[in-house]
Amino acid sequence: MLLSLSFAFGQQADKPKIYNEEANPKIDIANAVKKASTDKKHVLLQIGGNWCAWCMMFDKLTKENQEIKDYLANNYEIVHVNYSPKNKNEETLASLKHPERFGFPVFVILNGKGEVIHTQNSAYLESKETQGHDPKVVLEFLQGWSYKALDPASYIKK
């Protein structure tokens, strides 16, 4: 019994902690918006928790798929917003028009003024073929909501 308990706790300790239950998302989001505005990027809020297997799978995809990783680095400021029994960040989610209604993970894109420009249900980024989030669909989602994609100047023919 003691061995199985220590094994279970050991497994929990080994899991990555990408969502900080103690973080103040208002401050993190404000800092990201400021940086995004300066760098002509958008802010991608990844809302979920360390308890969420789909949240962990998405985060892993964004770190291991080089094309997605590079695209995110060049086009987005990323903030992980925690949702867990310990800290639901209800005030922040209310200010974002309750994206949790779509389940987790859920993604919210903010412009350089901090305004919500899109909320994405992650189920639409999944694929039966990949048994998870489809890298091609994820990249298309990110490209479609990038600063450049929404900048009218990018549509002016020269």
The verdict on residue 119 lying in a domain is yes
The verdict on residue 1 lying in a domain is no
The verdict on residue 58 lying in a domain is yes
One-letter amino acid for residue 122 of the chain: S
Q: Which CATH number goes with the domain that contains 120?
A: 3.40.30.10
The verdict on residue 7 lying in a domain is no
Which pLDDT does position 156 carry in this prediction?
77
Segment 2-45, tens digit of pLDDT: 443 333 334 445 667 999 999 999 999 999 999 999 999 999 99
Which two tokens mark 31? 């800092």
Which pLDDT does position 157 carry in this prediction?
72
The verdict on residue 157 lying in a domain is no
Which pLDDT does position 7 carry in this prediction?
38
107 phi, psi to nearest 5 deg: -120, 135
The verdict on residue 102 lying in a domain is yes
Which pLDDT does position 13 carry in this prediction?
54
Structural domain count, the chain: 1
Low-confidence ranges of the chain (pLDDT < 50): 1-12
Which pLDDT does position 130 carry in this prediction?
79
**Domain that includes residue 121, residue range:** 16-151
Taking the CA atoms of residue 100, residue 54, residue 81 and residue 33 in that order, the dihedral angle to the nearest 10 degrees is -100
The verdict on residue 74 lying in a domain is yes
- Whether the CB-CB separation of 42 and 110 falls below 8 Å is answered with yes
Closest listed residue to residue 68, CA positions, set 90, 48, 46: 46
The verdict on residue 61 lying in a domain is yes
